Amino acid sequence: MIAVPTTELIINKTNRTDAGTSLLTFNGNSQEVYGLFGKFDTLVKDSLSDYLIKEGIKKIICTYDKVPKLLDYIEPKNYRVLIDEYHCLLKAYSYRQKAIDGVLDNFRQFKSFCFMSATPILPSFKPSCLEDVEELEAEWDKKYVDTLKVELQQTNKPYALAANIINAYKRDGFITSKEGIKSYEAFFFINSVTDIVNILKHCHLNNEEVRIICADTPENQEKLTGYRISNSRNPNKMFNFITSKSFEGADFFSDTGLCFVVSSASNPHTLASIDSDIP
C-alpha cells in the first residue's frame, strides 16, 4: 500500500479521476491497482470490498486520510506500507493534523513500513514517533541523473516578467533557451489562482491555449469563469499553470517544456522553494 499526500498524485499515477481500479503496466507486467481518494461513500466502499476479495496480490494507493479507514477492510499485517513524500507530514501538519495523525498512529500495524522522500525531514524536526526508525540514503549513479539548470531572476514585478515570457511564446510560437533549444510549452508554477487569473487576462489567453491545474472548488470555478480546471494527466497546452496541488510527486511529460517558478514576496501563498516544494 502506498499513502500519498494529495488526490492529484493518485490521478497522476493512475490516470483516473475517480476512486477505483486501473490497470498499470511496468516492464510489460500488468497489475491491478486500487486508487482510493475522494469521498469514502457507499459506492467506493463496495468497490473496495469487491477489489479486496479478488485473487492475487493487492496494491492500493490512497491519500493520507484514508489510512485509518482502510484498517476496517484489510488486515494490516498482510500489507507493507510506503508513506510517500513524508516531509509533508511536517510541512502540512498545521492544517492537516487529523490526516497526518492517522498515518503516524497506525503505520506500525503494517507488516513493514517505509517513509520516503527526496527532501527528508531534518533530524531536529523529526516527529518523536519516528526517532527509532532507521534512515537510509539512496545514492544514484551519476550517469542516470540529469543536471537541473536553474536560472534565478530577481524582479519587483514577477507577474510582468511572466507576461513577457508568455508574449514571447505567442509572438514566435516558441522561445529559445540559452542552450539553443526551442521550447514550445511553458509550465508556470504559481500557487495563487487569483494571480493566474490576472496573468490570463493581461495576456488575453483563451481556454484552448492554457491548462490550469488547481483545486476544483466552487471558489476557484468562479475565479476561473470561462476557463476549465484540468489535472496533471490532461494534454499539455502551450501554457500550463500549476498550483501546489501538483507541486510534489506529480510527473509532467514534455519534449520541449521549460519550467518557470513564479514567486512573489508580497503573497505568502506563492513563496516556494525549488529544492523542497517543487523537487
- Tell which residue, 36, 91, 90, has the closest CA to residue 67: 36
- The answer to whether the beta carbons of residues 203 and 166 sit under 8 Å apart is yes
Q: Name the percent of the chain lying above pLDDT 70.
A: 91
- pLDDT tens digits, 96-128: 899 999 999 999 999 999 999 988 888 888 888
Is residue 274 very low, low, confident or very high in pLDDT (cuts 50, 70, 90)? very low
User: Which of 138, 172, 204 lies at the terminal end of a domain, its last residue?
Assistant: 138
User: Which of 138, 173, 203 lies at the terminal end of a domain, its last residue?
Assistant: 138
Question: φ, ψ for residue 172 (rounded to 5)?
Answer: -110, -10
pLDDT of residue 270: 59
Count, residues in the chain: 279
- pLDDT tens digits, 8-35: 999 998 888 877 766 555 566 677 889 9
- pLDDT tens digits, 37-57: 888 999 999 999 999 999 888
Question: φ, ψ for residue 23 (rounded to 5)?
Answer: -95, 115
Any domain includes 208? yes
pLDDT of residue 141: 81
Report the pLDDT averaged over residues 200-216.
95
Any domain includes 167? yes
- pLDDT tens digits, 52-104: 999 888 999 999 999 999 999 999 999 999 999 998 888 888 888 999 999 99
pTM for the predicted model, two decimal places = 0.84
pLDDT of residue 273: 55
208 pLDDT more than 50: yes
> Do 37 and 110 sit in the same domain of this protein?
yes
pLDDT of residue 28: 62
Is residue 147 very low, low, confident or very high in pLDDT (cuts 50, 70, 90)? confident
Domain count, the chain: 2
Report the pLDDT averaged over residues 200-223.
95
> Do 167 and 212 sit in the same domain of this protein?
yes
User: Which of 89, 109, 138 lies at the terminal end of a domain, its last residue?
Assistant: 138
Report the pLDDT averaged over residues 189-216.
94
> Do 153 and 199 sit in the same domain of this protein?
yes
The Cα-based distances of 55 to 32, 51, 58, 100, 274 in angstroms read: 11, 9, 8, 31, 43
Q: CA dihedral in degrees (34, 40, 46, 47; nearest 10)? A: -20
pLDDT of residue 19: 74
Any domain includes 98? yes
Range of the domain at 104: 2-138
pLDDT of residue 236: 96
> Do 100 and 209 sit in the same domain of this protein?
no
- The answer to whether the beta carbons of residues 58 and 73 sit under 8 Å apart is no
